[in-house]
Structure 1
Amino acid sequence: MNVAFTSRTLSLSRPQLFRGIRKVQSSFATCSVLSANRAVVYTSNGDPSQVLSALTFSNLPPPPPNTVNVRFLLSPINPADINVIEGVYPAKPNPNASLSSSGKGSQDEPVFVAGNEGLAEVTNVGDGVTHLQPNDWVIMTRQQAGTWSTGMNVKPQDILKVPRSLNDVEAATITVNPPTAYNMLHDFVQLNEGDWVIQNGANGAVGQVVIQIAAAKGLKTINLIRNRNDIASLTEYLSNLGATHVVTYDELSDKSFRQRVKEWTGGKNIRLGLNCVSGKPTTLMTRLLGQNAHLVSYGAMSKEPLSLPTSLFIFKNLTCHGFWQSRWYDSKSSGEREKLVETLVGLMRAGKLKEPSHEILTIQGSEGDEEASQKIRHAIATLAKGQHGKKILLKMEETF
């Protein structure tokens, strides 16, 4: 509810004015909590379009010593977030029983707050915290922190400061897809300028970052995508990002394709393959790899198993790896995490890594919990069906 005090308002008598204020206060009391927080929560795993709901909760108290309060600015909705809510993802969030004294979010009915990635702004700093101050931008380093919220209290070791010279979309999306792409390109094989990389799912969020980081390093890429009605515009888009060649899975199945690849590479071995699809397309892609190559799998969008000929291991000495960015974070020190983020920030500042194609889903403070719940469920249902080509970033306003 918006209240505008005009010259007519000021001309009211004192009793009239107080009656008007009491009426406004009563209206607030019946519809929402004044200037409160809100989170997207669930009490059990299942279909996100069914189990998710918005929950309004009280403003945060001042932070206890050695903690900080943050306000989330943007929080991406990633495919892995949907899998976590469904209960089919290895990483599990901790239940939250501190949002309310009774009902949902209390000790009697704890909830899970959705969201793993997000950009937040420090609003209040507890005693003992010296390296952070209000208005600093931070990102989450603790997995499944519950970022689909307006605010929370966090420990300093669970966040990492990022420069405000980035735009909010760049900062909000820096902890999942860019690190995954960067680490897969650097951790398994030493690649030099002019070397080749082949990947499937190249139009995905990680695939697009792979293209850009590879181009920045002088690497050449063969990028496999599913055929579609807008194939020409998508091919142009990926080429503008830096893709050397963009190819459909239909072309990959053609027996003459192997010869085309040899002509492109000049017979040079392709030493790294990146897989997020599995199934037959990955089997065909892996056959194009050269001697002593590495295949890195970070997904299985086809929901089919990874099946590879034994001959590739015997005669080509193929090495296969699985990659999970969450495991990387768990195994690395805070200094190593900071160094990675600094590298990615440098690529963004240099214009070599663009923000993802996106749209922002705003949950307005004036919207009730039920209306907010419906908007979120609809967005999740659309993403789950693969009917949305852009990354959705959630912007949740404090309720009023």
Structure 2
Amino acid sequence: MTTMLIPRAVRAQAPALSKELAPNYGSTVCRRWKSGPYGYTQAKALVYSKYGDPSNVLSLHTHSISPSLPSNQLLLRTLATPINPADINQIQGVYPSRPPFTTLLGTPEPSAVGGNEGCFQVQSVGSAIKSVQKGDWVIMKNTGFGTWRTHALAKENNVLKIEDKEGLSPLQVGTVSVNPCTAYRMLKDFTTLEPSQDWFIQNGANSGVGRAAIQLGREWGYSSINIIRDRKTAEDTEAMKKELLDLGATKVLTESELQSREGAAHIIDWTGGKNLKLGLNCVGGPQTQALTKTLSQGAHLVTYGAMSKQPLSVPTGLLIFKDIKFSGYWVSRWSDAHPEEKKKTVEEILTLTREGKFKDVPFQEMRWDWGTEESVLKGGIAGTLEGFRSGKGVLVYGDT
């Protein structure tokens, strides 16, 4: 990536920044963006130069991008970028994947841009670009690019084109790469589930991955048992159960119900004791041990998170006598290793979305305009790791 800064003498003569139409998030997107002297694009990015709490280490950096694109690069403007827990962990320095710190954006210290997922619109392309053109929507092929920015320069091989954006919103496209792909691959890659016969069980069922798994399982004919945390009131718990049942869940239990004798008996009754072949775990701790004990002979438990921050304890008998298999799954590793398979998976999920068979997770939208202050953006990112959020936080870009 190459970012060119406007010389001080030129900046002093800069004309007023141009303004165009505000966004209309339909099949086509008309946006306004900031244009500096001689066609330079004014851009902002949330960057960090050291690891720590996002509220302490993130800063809003302004820079300029030259209109003279290298032949193999394209200029992107950002439409929507989610705030995932892994993004926060990355900034904290506790995530296995860490983007390199550089000064390519003209930051005083080597820095990285936050975020790993998003929907972008191609604004202009270099002379050698063949696979995309102005107006196309793209997502990042690999993680670690840094998506919390109003504009970006990328190489052609950095992006995957969305072949058909009709009937889709930037939020739907911008949030497809992580949670839905995680659910899709875990349901398909670890064991063979027979439609109208086999079951899977998952905790964190109201999460983005959990909701995706419910809907994909329903679409493919898999029955599901979905575990949620007990809410503060019985009314809140029942409301969450109904929400997931309406989404396509077969059964919904709370963690306390799962760990009760009655809950275990219900699961045996529902599944026949032999058709519960897959477990999906994002919690860990004693709750997951209770979930694992319900699995059928030879089943597979796939762990993709540890929200409880407690280790996964495995009873020896489940290994020896029930032959339960245990695996971990990290969608970033799969995504980076299988870009073409990622594209196919994304397109299939978006087709289901377009057909009304796959619904969005609840969103908490935060608009990022040119004048949005740093404190507002950082405040919107804060709390992503806290429980009982009303929806996934997503940055939606306005007059940037």
For this structure pair, what is the TM-score category when the shorter chain's length is used for normalisation?
A: 0.7 to 0.9
Q: Closer, same or farther in 2 for the Cα pair 1:187/1:286, shift >3 Å?
A: same
Alignment pair present for 1:62 and 2:68: yes
Look up the match of 1:154. Answer: 154
Q: Are the aligned partners of 2:115 and 2:147 in contact in 1 as well (CA < 8 Å)?
A: yes
The 5 Å alignment of 1:35-114 reads 36-100=42-106, 105=107, 109-114=109-114
Distance 1:387 1:263 in 2: 31
Alignment pair present for 1:211 and 2:205: no
Q: Closer, same or farther in 2 for the Cα pair 1:387/1:58, shift >3 Å?
A: farther
Look up the match of 1:29. Answer: none
Deviation at 1:381, TM superposition (A): 2.1
Alignment pair present for 1:354 and 2:359: yes
Alignment pair present for 1:391 and 2:388: no
Deviation at 1:255, TM superposition (A): 1.7
Number of positions where the alignment pairs a residue of Structure 1 with one of Structure 2: 362
Which of 287-296 and 259-268 deviates more? 259-268
Deviation at 1:115, TM superposition (A): 0.7
Alignment pair present for 1:177 and 2:179: yes
Look up the match of 2:125. Answer: 125
> 5+ residue gaps in structure 1?
1-21, 27-31
Alignment pair present for 1:273 and 2:279: yes
Q: Are the aligned partners of 2:51 and 2:57 in contact in 1 as well (CA < 8 Å)?
A: yes
Look up the match of 1:294. Answer: 300
Look up the match of 1:187. Answer: 189
Look up the match of 2:246. Answer: 240
Deviation at 1:398, TM superposition (A): 5.6
Deviation at 1:397, TM superposition (A): 4.3
Look up the match of 2:29. Answer: none
What code does the residue aligned with 2:328 have? G
Look up the match of 1:258. Answer: 264
Q: Closer, same or farther in 2 for the Cα pair 1:292/1:25, shift >3 Å?
A: closer
Distance 1:360 1:151 in 2: 19
What code does the residue aligned with 2:381 have? I
Q: Are the aligned partners of 1:150 and 1:397 in contact in 2 as well (CA < 8 Å)?
A: no
- For the residue of structure 2 that corresponds to 1:383, the secondary structure is coil
Which of 384-393 and 286-295 deviates more? 384-393
Distance 2:124 2:101 in 1: 24
* TM-score, structure 2 as length reference: 0.86
Q: Are the aligned partners of 1:38 and 1:398 in contact in 2 as well (CA < 8 Å)?
A: no
Distance 2:326 2:277 in 1: 12
Q: Are the aligned partners of 1:224 and 1:247 in contact in 2 as well (CA < 8 Å)?
A: yes
Q: Are the aligned partners of 1:74 and 1:118 in contact in 2 as well (CA < 8 Å)?
A: yes
Q: Which has the larger radius of gyration?
A: 1
Distance 1:343 1:395 in 2: 24
* TM-score, structure 1 as length reference: 0.86
What code does the residue aligned with 1:218 have? G
Deviation at 1:387, TM superposition (A): 5.5
Q: Describe the superposition over 1:143-197 as per-residue Cα deviations: whole angstroms up to 9, x where unpaired.
A: 1111000111111111101121122111011110111000000000011112100
Deviation at 1:395, TM superposition (A): 2.4
Choose the corresponding residue for 2:341, options 336, 339, 347. Answer: 336
Q: Are the aligned partners of 1:33 and 1:56 in contact in 2 as well (CA < 8 Å)?
A: no
Q: Percent identity?
A: 42
- For the residue of structure 2 that corresponds to 1:130, the secondary structure is coil
Q: Are the aligned partners of 2:117 and 2:147 in contact in 1 as well (CA < 8 Å)?
A: yes
Q: Describe the superposition over 1:295-328 as per-residue Cα deviations: whole angstroms up to 9, x where unpaired.
A: 0000000000000101001111111000000111
Q: Are the aligned partners of 2:84 and 2:384 in contact in 1 as well (CA < 8 Å)?
A: no
Distance 1:171 1:119 in 2: 6
Q: Closer, same or farther in 2 for the Cα pair 1:320/1:190, shift >3 Å?
A: same
What code does the residue aligned with 1:164 have? K
Q: Closer, same or farther in 2 for the Cα pair 1:159/1:210, shift >3 Å?
A: same
